[in-house]
């Protein structure tokens, strides 16, 4: 098919050259328009064109096609790899989000446990302090009661000795503290009866 078109081109070119062979430029010395050299020029044109056609068709174009095919394959491989990497990245993001959520849940649970533990320890310490305060209050009340009793005993002794001193100064019967003590006991037992 291509050779048929090529033949038509050569035929048209040849006829054109034959009809224009009588140009005035050929007589002036321009060798391109000299009709005696048309056939050799057509031969070398055809030979040069055929060689260029063979070089382009069988050497250059296959290399260009191969480079285009390699580029398409490389682009397709790169796109496939990028899709695989994208899927892996999405998986990693999902895993990291799941781990983050799990860590958040664990932290919340740890906080709840520590709050409960702290609350329990606080309650236990509060109860312990309340018990200690109650024990100290009971001890203090017992100490106060014992101190009150000792003061009452000392007070009665002090009152009796003071009474004896006052009575001695007033020159009212020289009574000793033991005698005043027995009088007071008799007085108290008489009142109670």
User: pLDDT digits over 133-188, tens only?
Assistant: 999 999 999 988 888 888 877 777 777 777 767 766 666 666 677 777 777 777 77
The b/e string for 10-30 (b: 16+ C-beta within 10 A; e otherwise) is eeeeeeebeeeeeeeebeeee
Q: Are 152 and 131 in contact (CB under 8 A)?
A: no
pLDDT of residue 151: 80
Residue 132 lies in a domain: no
What range does the domain containing 164 cover?
148-192
pLDDT of residue 3: 55
Distance (Å, rounded) from C-alpha 137 to C-alpha 142?
8
Residue 181 lies in a domain: yes
Please count the other Cβ atoms lying within 10 Å of the Cβ belonging to residue 179.
13
Residue 14 lies in a domain: no
Q: Are 185 and 174 in contact (CB under 8 A)?
A: no
Distance (Å, rounded) from C-alpha 31 to C-alpha 10?
20
Residue 125 lies in a domain: no
Terminal C-alpha separation, the chain: 158
pLDDT of residue 148: 84
Higher per-residue pLDDT: 2 or 140? 140
Average pLDDT over the chain, rounded to whole? 82
Residue 168 lies in a domain: yes
User: Quick check: helix, strand or coil at residue 59?
Assistant: helix
The DSSP 8-state label assigned to residue 165 in this structure reads: H
Q: Is the pLDDT of residue 73 over 80?
A: yes
Q: For tokens 């799941």, what's the residue?
A: 98
Distance (Å, rounded) from C-alpha 77 to C-alpha 82?
8
Q: For tokens 């312990």, what's the residue?
A: 128
Please indicate, yes or no, whether the overall pTM of this predicted structure exceeds 0.95: no
Residue 156 lies in a domain: yes
Q: Domain count for the chain, please give it.
A: 1
Residue 169 lies in a domain: yes
pLDDT tens-place string over residues 91-119: 999 999 999 999 999 999 999 999 999 99
């Amino acid at each position: 098919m291509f050779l048929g078109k090529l033949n038509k081109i050569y035929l048209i070119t040849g006829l054109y050259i034959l009809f224009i062979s009588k140009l005035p430029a050929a007589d002036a010395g321009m060798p391109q328009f000299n009709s005696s050299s048309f056939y050799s020029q057509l031969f070398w044109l055809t030979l040069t064109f055929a060689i260029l056609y063979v070089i382009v068709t069988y050497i250059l174009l296959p290399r260009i096609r191969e480079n285009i095919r390699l580029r398409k394959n490389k682009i397709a491989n790169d796109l496939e790899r990028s899709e695989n990497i994208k899927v892996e990245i999405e998986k990693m993001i999902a895993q990291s989000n799941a781990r983050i959520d799990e860590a958040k849940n664990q932290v919340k649970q740890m906080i709840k446990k520590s709050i409960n533990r702290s609350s329990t320890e606080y309650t236990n310490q509060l109860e312990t302090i309340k018990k200690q305060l109650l024990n100290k209050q009971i001890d203090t009340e017992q100490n106060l009661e014992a101190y009150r009793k000792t003061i009452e005993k000392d007070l009665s002794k002090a009152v009796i000795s003071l009474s004896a001193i006052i009575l001695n100064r007033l020159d009212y019967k020289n009574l000793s503290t033991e005698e005043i003590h027995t009088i007071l006991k008799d007085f108290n037992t008489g009142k109670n009866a």
